[in-house]
Structure 1
């Protein structure tokens, strides 16, 4: 189905910074600094971008951003700024509240993707940001997040997702592999970045979109060797990225980049030397 009544909107939860060397792995700084200039602390600019999908009968959000669970020291380290706690202001621009969200799809449970699951209530206690939503995550990532390796333990904060242990927690649905969650919204597991991450494929108004999360965090990560130092299985990332890019170019998918500070969406092309390049899509809202 073409889903002519479906609208997708890119929302900015916050901006932050991560070490450029970690974000580009083996790529030398003189190369990645051309497109992603670092600050004095070697951090590149990053967006915590979420995706809103509005259907006539359903409101869906993909990922929840950084959230509020950071100390002042951590906020300085990660240069967290321009933050919309709980995406309340971003949603209000579309006449929505967090309470109106029906579905929350989590690509994975790293803190910059799942940190926004909780926000402070009026009394200061942390409460579920989306109390009326079903929450979806791959079972494999849920398991890994509770027992990560020493290498990636710092990326998972149990305080972000232990809300599901409470008796009054919103529903949590664990997904096993490839699945169509509802008509025209499909999840595709990938394992190079972390085990059980999922790319979300969306059909809207005759166009296919792919929210690629940390498989391709920015438009600068399209080429094969541009793989994050954070990835647990970098060669697997290269393989998975090639497969997504093959479909994106052949079938005219629009990719949505979760962390690119300037390019939210792009089609894929190749330049005269056969290198994959982005063709940015200007608008952040598509119907």
Structure 2
């Protein structure tokens, strides 16, 4: 199994196969009219857009750090698969084996948030019980997100599944505003998409990378006003995109994606108008990598 990679300084970023969903394009682009967003991101005949759910493996300083966990396996009814447009479930074990790793090798899991399409791969079903897929990992989850998933409101209870967080409860470490996992790699609280939503900011050895998570799930969401109808606090999403995204573009940062159907990573021109460098997702499963 060939996987796309980006190598920068002493860091290697690899995208694992976490499954794929197809969600309603109107919901994913909120109030943006379809004639505008469809120019930037294609949809199918039922108005759904392809959204990968591929965890990003960061290898640095002997650590194997995973960003989110994909949609898992065997957890969805046929009705759920139809509603969420799930056409492929996760193959995390196979992806890791192709790198000479196992699920026991993961040292840390950075959860941007705990919605089902990011957290369902945290546990697997064994003997009709849910058990951790990464038993040796520390799960880093924002304290606001952790409290909300345990006491979801009428809206969020449809995405915070107990079987995703209960099995890993003893592995969880919470933080308030930000936490530095290794030197220069931080999980930063933003809110917006969910109350406890976080992004990944990396400033290491003079290199800058950022993963905006679901504040900018695809390259087509670069416009700060293009936010999701799924966002619980859309004005916070806009504010945080202005604060984090715009400076990162000007400073020539790499942007990493979990959901994008086409790009694994991009670097825009300083005015944000042109993609100058990119790591493409190869749907033919041939290796696509870049070293910087």
- Whether TM exceeds 0.5 here: the answer is yes
In 2, Cα distance between the equivalents of 1:285 and 1:131?
31
Deviations 1:136-156 (A, max 9, x none): 100011011122332332121
Query: 2:150 maps to what in 1?
Result: 146
Scaled by the length of structure 2, what TM-score is found? 0.87
In 1, Cα distance between the equivalents of 2:90 and 2:56?
14
Mapped contact 1:64–1:113 kept (Cα < 8 A): yes
Query: 2:5 maps to what in 1?
Result: none
- Once the two structures are overlaid, the 10-residue window that deviates more, 5-14 or 101-110, is 5-14
Query: 1:281 maps to what in 2?
Result: 278
Query: 1:27 maps to what in 2?
Result: 32
Q: Aligned to 1:179, what secondary structure does the other structure show?
A: strand
Deviations 1:190-246 (A, max 9, x none): 111111111111245642211211010000001122110011111111111111222
| Counterpart pick for 1:18 among 13, 19, 23 | 23
- Give how far 1:112 is off: 0.6
In 1, Cα distance between the equivalents of 2:289 and 2:161?
30
In 2, Cα distance between the equivalents of 1:194 and 1:55?
29
Q: Give the gaps of 5 or more residues in structure 2.
A: 1-7, 280-287
Does residue 80 in structure 1 map to residue 109 in structure 2?
no
| Counterpart pick for 1:39 among 32, 37, 44 | 44
The alignment yields a C-alpha RMSD, in angstroms, of: 2.1
In 2, Cα distance between the equivalents of 1:151 and 1:40?
28
- Give how far 1:267 is off: 1.4
In 1, Cα distance between the equivalents of 2:155 and 2:222?
24
In 1, Cα distance between the equivalents of 2:219 and 2:141?
25
In 2, Cα distance between the equivalents of 1:175 and 1:114?
18
Q: What is the number of equivalent residue pairs in this alignment?
A: 276
- Give how far 1:119 is off: 1.5
Query: 2:198 maps to what in 1?
Result: 198
Deviations 1:160-213 (A, max 9, x none): 111134xxx4x2101111221221211111111111111111245642211211
- Give how far 1:277 is off: 5.1
Q: How does 1:137-286 map to 2 (within 5 A)?
A: 137-165=141-169, 169=170, 171-203=171-203, 206-269=206-269, 276=273, 278-282=275-279, 283-284=288-289, 286=291
Q: 1:146 to 1:172 in 2, by over 3 A?
A: same
- Give how far 1:80 is off: 1.3
Scaled by the length of structure 1, what TM-score is found? 0.89
- Give how far 1:34 is off: 2.0
Mapped contact 1:104–1:133 kept (Cα < 8 A): yes
In 2, Cα distance between the equivalents of 1:27 and 1:246?
20
In 1, Cα distance between the equivalents of 2:108 and 2:29?
32
- Give how far 1:284 is off: 5.0
Q: Aligned to 1:239, what secondary structure does the other structure show?
A: helix
